[in-house]
Amino acid sequence: MLEGEQKPVCIFDGREVINLASNNYLGLTTHKALRKAALDAVKRYGVGAGAVRTIAGTMKLHMELEEQIGRSNVEACVCFIGLTANAERCRRAGKET
């Protein structure tokens, strides 16, 4: 069992190990600015949307993110479920030249 944060080296079952099983490959779970932004968002919006987006879970924060990305010159897709994001990446990988 993991004890503490998802870091490259962490404590697992009481032993210090190199963590090769984490989805935290960009180090975002321990990024100081992201932690602060997440805490600020929890204070403002609460914990979770309370429903999937197609029912009643779309929040102003989601729309602002999508609008900001849409104004950029970057081709992007916003996926709020990790499995969906990974599946789309795999699907697109076969189409790249």
What confidence tens digit (pLDDT) does each residue in 55-65 have?
A: 777 888 888 88
Task: Assess whether pLDDT exceeds 60 at residue 97.
Answer: no
Please answer whether residues 8 and 19 qualify as being in contact, where contact means their C-beta atoms are separated by less than 8 angstroms.
yes
What confidence tens digit (pLDDT) does each residue in 33-63 have?
A: 999 999 998 998 888 767 777 777 788 888 8
Amino acid 79: pLDDT: 66
Distance CA 67, CA 76 (A): 11
pTM over 0.85: no
The pair phi, psi for residue 20, each rounded to 5°, is -100, 5
Q: What average pLDDT score do residues 61-78 get?
A: 82
Strands of the 9-12 sheet, one edge to the other: 2-3, 9-12, 15-18
**Please, where are the H alpha helices in the chain?**
32-45, 60-71, 82-93
3-class secondary structure, 2: strand
Rg of the chain in Å (alpha carbons) = 17
| Burial of 63 per CB tally in 10 Å (0-12, 13-18, 19+) | exposed
